[in-house]
Structure 1
Amino acid sequence: MSVVRRVSSAPSQVQRRVMDARSTRWDEHRVAVRAQLVDAAIRIIERYGASVSMDDIAAEAGVSKPKLYRYFGDKAGLNGAVAAKLGALMWESAQVTIFAEQDHASVDDMIRSSVQSYVALVGKHPVVVRFLMANHLFQYSGSGDGGVADQLRSVMEAVADRFTESLQRVHADASIIPLAVASILGSGLSATQWWIDNGREQGVDDKFFAAHLSETTWGIINGAGATVGVAFSPDLPFSHPGFASRLEMN
């Protein structure tokens, strides 16, 4: 009996499992190749900046240009994949600096640590960040899938939920929180663009910039709290009942 005959006579569920396994291996292969191509794109963008072409990326990756189009559709698709990779790195950083510590560390330590991680990532890939900003893939898109800032906003909204809970514990109006999130995101992205375009050349190092972003963030948070008659104690964790307290009103 031939090999073909034996396979063809196998029960349908066995054949289906074989096909599923092949499909899974192919999907995993595509994911791995796609990740390698994105990494190559990041390397060449860091070298050439906004002038990078699909030919440059294909040469860096050691593949044909048609292969890039097969995996990403067009250059916009590849740019979007680069933005998604940077966004994923920011989300992974947040897993360590925010989500893992928000019930134990002081809110001030948590915010400053997350800002420092953000600045470190931007400082590591300033040319890529500038490239994404030029292609409108760093700012908040409003659709949830258009820019790196969508990931930043997701992180911020997770933190904002804790501020909302704190305001609700003292029976304060929590509707101010979305405005505070938009203000922090807008000012932070504007400051980031200035820093990578001019600030670093003018001697504003990552520590100074991170400190500025942290203080600006707290300025907006405290301003939002004061608007609804609440003061926050940044040296306490979110879970502490004294983190938010009502202001004495004259």
Structure 2
Amino acid sequence: MSDQDLDGGKPDVARDGRKARARKRPPFRRLPSEKRRQEIITTAIKVFRERPEHEVSIDDLAAAAGSSRSSLYRYFDSKQELFEAVADRVGAEVVDRLDAVDEGVPSWNLMIRLHVYFDFIEEHEGIVGGVLAMGSGEVPESARAAAQRVRDHILRITCDTLEVAEPSPALEMVIRSWIAGVELAGVEWLRTRSLPRAELEMLLARQLGITLIGVAPADPAIAERVSWWAGVEPPDGPFGVLVRSVAGLLDVKMLGNVARVLSYEEAPADRP
């Protein structure tokens, strides 16, 4: 006996209707886990660009990704872990952009790379403000590690710009200090916009040359690089303009003061 006979000759309309609706529903497409994970990171980057990490909840991120809170936890154990993945991806991107800059004379190379760097931090303001919050214990360790990898890379490309294979300890310290100054200036500029960006980039490009000149007497390797830089720098380059500007300060009064400093003689060691 058929089901239709048991039901008094009436077909199971409800059940057939459910089957029809089920056939019309588009099939569920499950993305491969790694692909979905990368899509979540991409979405999180967009969210963190607009809002600092501490203002974003895991629910905000899930909604932006078109997912649920529990689904996000399949790929990341916490919001912190997701932010760390964002920092790692963003760090790799800025390295790629800096590497794409063509080589050239040092100060123009520095200027172009600074322009690329400031383009990047302005585009990723929310993320940069979180990762480069210097000394903040709230920044995850792996996010700080991602920032450190970027600093190490900038050290290497700056050495390449100066045609230095292995920097002396003093030169490495000077370049790292300059990088830290660029970061701090970038974070402060994002906060205040107190200087035109182009002016700030010019100041920072000149600053490395100024610092190298200042420490050159204490390190022969740095003195040699300063001499090399002056030899390859075009007069209209940032470093050339700086040197000529400094020379322009040497009016009669300044020359007199310089002469007074230069005429100083150390007291004999046996003088009481």
Shared fold, TM over 0.5: yes
Aligned equivalents of 2:39, 2:171: Cα separation in 1:
39
- 1:62–1:124: structure 2 CA closer, same or farther, 3 Å change rule? same
Q: Is the CA contact (8 Å cut-off) linking 1:123 and 1:206 kept in structure 2?
A: no
Give, as a single letter, the amino acid of the residue that structure 1 aligns with 2:51.
Y
1:94 is paired with a residue of what secondary structure?
helix
Aligned equivalents of 1:48, 1:220: Cα separation in 2:
36
Q: Is the CA contact (8 Å cut-off) linking 2:125 and 2:190 kept in structure 1?
A: yes
Deviation of 1:161 after TM superposition, in Å, equals 5.7
Deviations 1:124-170 (A, max 9, x none): 1212211333595999x7x997232421322322432664737x8xx
Runs of 5+ unmatched residues, structure 1:
1-25, 238-250
Q: Is the CA contact (8 Å cut-off) linking 1:108 and 1:235 kept in structure 2?
A: no
- 1:174–1:46: structure 2 CA closer, same or farther, 3 Å change rule? closer
| 1:70 correspondence with 2:61 | no
| 1:223 correspondence with 2:226 | no
Q: Is the CA contact (8 Å cut-off) linking 1:40 and 1:61 kept in structure 2?
A: yes
Aligned equivalents of 1:32, 1:193: Cα separation in 2:
33
Deviations 1:14-45 (A, max 9, x none): xxxxxxxxxxxx9x943432221112112222
Aligned equivalents of 1:127, 1:159: Cα separation in 2:
26
Question: Residue 191 of structure 2 corresponds to which residue in structure 1?
Answer: 197
164, 181, 188: which is aligned to 2:182? 188
Give, as a single letter, the amino acid of the residue that structure 2 aligns with 1:150.
R
Deviations 1:57-92 (A, max 9, x none): 110011122232222221221111111122111111
- 1:107–1:161: structure 2 CA closer, same or farther, 3 Å change rule? closer
- 1:145–1:155: structure 2 CA closer, same or farther, 3 Å change rule? same
Deviation of 1:48 after TM superposition, in Å, equals 3.3
Q: Is the CA contact (8 Å cut-off) linking 2:88 and 2:143 kept in structure 1?
A: no
| 1:38 correspondence with 2:41 | yes
Q: Is the CA contact (8 Å cut-off) linking 1:91 and 1:151 kept in structure 2?
A: yes
195, 206, 216: which is aligned to 2:197? 206
Aligned equivalents of 1:56, 1:126: Cα separation in 2:
18
Question: Residue 59 of structure 1 corresponds to which residue in structure 2?
Answer: 63
Give, as a single letter, the amino acid of the residue that structure 2 aligns with 1:213.
L
| 1:233 correspondence with 2:229 | yes
Q: Which has the higher relative contact order, 1 or 2, with Cα contacts under 8 A spaced 6 or more apart?
A: 1
Q: Is the CA contact (8 Å cut-off) linking 2:43 and 2:65 kept in structure 1?
A: yes
1:146 is paired with a residue of what secondary structure?
helix
Aligned equivalents of 2:186, 2:212: Cα separation in 1:
19
* Pairwise CA RMSD: 3.3
- 1:82–1:196: structure 2 CA closer, same or farther, 3 Å change rule? same
Give, as a single letter, the amino acid of the residue that structure 2 aligns with 1:114.
R
- 1:154–1:48: structure 2 CA closer, same or farther, 3 Å change rule? closer
Q: Is the CA contact (8 Å cut-off) linking 1:34 and 1:71 kept in structure 2?
A: yes
TM-score by length of 1: 0.66
| 1:157 correspondence with 2:156 | yes
Runs of 5+ unmatched residues, structure 2:
1-29, 234-272
Give, as a single letter, the amino acid of the residue that structure 2 aligns with 1:125.
H
Give, as a single letter, the amino acid of the residue that structure 1 aligns with 2:174.
A
Deviations 1:76-124 (A, max 9, x none): 2111111112211111112211xxx33xx21222111111100110111
Give, as a single letter, the amino acid of the residue that structure 1 aligns with 2:96.
E
1:38 is paired with a residue of what secondary structure?
helix
Q: How many residues align?
A: 197
67, 71, 88: which is aligned to 1:84? 88
Q: Is the CA contact (8 Å cut-off) linking 1:42 and 1:82 kept in structure 2?
A: yes
Q: Is the CA contact (8 Å cut-off) linking 1:107 and 1:235 kept in structure 2?
A: no
Q: Is the CA contact (8 Å cut-off) linking 1:115 and 1:214 kept in structure 2?
A: yes
Deviation of 1:226 after TM superposition, in Å, equals 4.1
Task: Give aligned-pair identity as a percent.
Answer: 18
* Worse overlay, 42-51 or 79-88: 42-51
